[in-house]
Structure 1
Amino acid sequence: MDWYSLFKVFIMSAIPLTEQRAAIPIGIIGYGLNPIATMIASFLGSLLPVPFVLLCFNAIFKWMKGYEFFKPLTNFIENKLQKNTGKLEKYKEIGLITFVGIPLPTTGLWTGSALAAFLGFDLKKAFICNALGGIISAVIVTAISSLFPAMI
């Protein structure tokens, strides 16, 4: 087993721009890794930032809003959060699981954790919902990535 490549998948999954949607296909298609090992490494990597985002998001966001330099970024984040808040407030935990589980841009564990913190979700429930959504997303992306080489 190529542990170094699995570690790269783990790290890519923890980065907000790549997360599982990029790390799993790179691991399976790019590195030729075992799909199950890739999925597990990616899932664990994507969980790494969740507690930190849940615990620190609101404080850091509030601090950033106090500086003009961060205004474009805070406006962007606020618009993204407001866009997705209505559905999550209505459906709570199921909404968060579904939001994170659908592997589309800006629907990963980073955004799900930020939304949960922003909406004041219970820390334990928010972590579990993000983890369940992350598993769903990992399975979907792994299945698609495993089928993709056959389509080339």
Structure 2
Amino acid sequence: MEGIATWFASTLGQYISAKAVIFIVSLMPILECRGGLIVASLLKVNIWEAIPICIIGNILPIPFILLFIKRIFRWLKRFKWWKPKIEKLEKRAMNKSSDMSNGEFIGLLLFVGIPLPGTGAWTGSLIASLLEMDIKRASVAIFLGVLMATVIVSALSYGLLSAI
């Protein structure tokens, strides 16, 4: 992820403001807030300015994913090229959700909040949608998970752990 974040920082950083780069990276699946914070650190943006930008960028797509992803997937499955890709993505999301089935809220919060590859708000939203979780409960769990991941990644990206 750091390589991708570095590419965004060096490439986009030449043409648009550092804060815009951070926001765009935070909007993207896989990179999300975690990548945004790495980019912010690389671009020497103050942590207290970067955090709200990253959180807003990470949270903005979530309601749309929760509300529309199943319909989008259903539509895409009509096309031969997309059908196997969507089914594979759904299968991967459901496999990742196996740990969450008993305590959905806490499971979703921890899934999104622990910054590991393949976990995050986008995947958490997909899982919540596929599990047909209540949208309000899922949104709160995802938001709290994003906050948790933000604290962890901020500590790592800005070297806050070494200061303690």
Q: Percent identity?
A: 34
Q: Distance in 2 between matches of 1:82 and 1:17?
A: 17
Name the structure 1 match of 2:34: 21
- Give the 4+ runs in structure 1 shifted more than 2 A: none
Of 95, 111, 125, the match for 1:99: 111
Name the structure 1 match of 2:134: 122
Of 7, 10, 17, the match for 2:23: 10
RMSD: 1.7
How many corresponding residue pairs?
146
Name the structure 2 match of 1:113: 125
SS of aligned partner of 2:101: helix
Q: How does 1:1-152 map to 2 (within 5 A)?
A: 4-28=17-41, 30-147=42-159
**C-alpha deviation, 1:144, in angstroms:** 0.1
**C-alpha deviation, 1:37, in angstroms:** 1.6
Select the structure that is richer in helix. 1
When normalised by structure 2's length, the TM-score is 0.83
Q: Distance in 2 between matches of 1:63 and 1:40?
A: 34
Q: Is the CA contact 2:62–2:122 (under 8 Å) kept in the aligned structure 1?
A: yes
Aligned AA (2:158): S
Q: Is the CA contact 2:108–2:141 (under 8 Å) kept in the aligned structure 1?
A: yes
SS of aligned partner of 2:100: helix
Unaligned runs of 5+ in 1: none
**C-alpha deviation, 1:7, in angstroms:** 2.2
Unaligned runs of 5+ in 2: 1-15
Name which structure has the greater RCO, CA cutoff 8 Å, separation 6+: 1
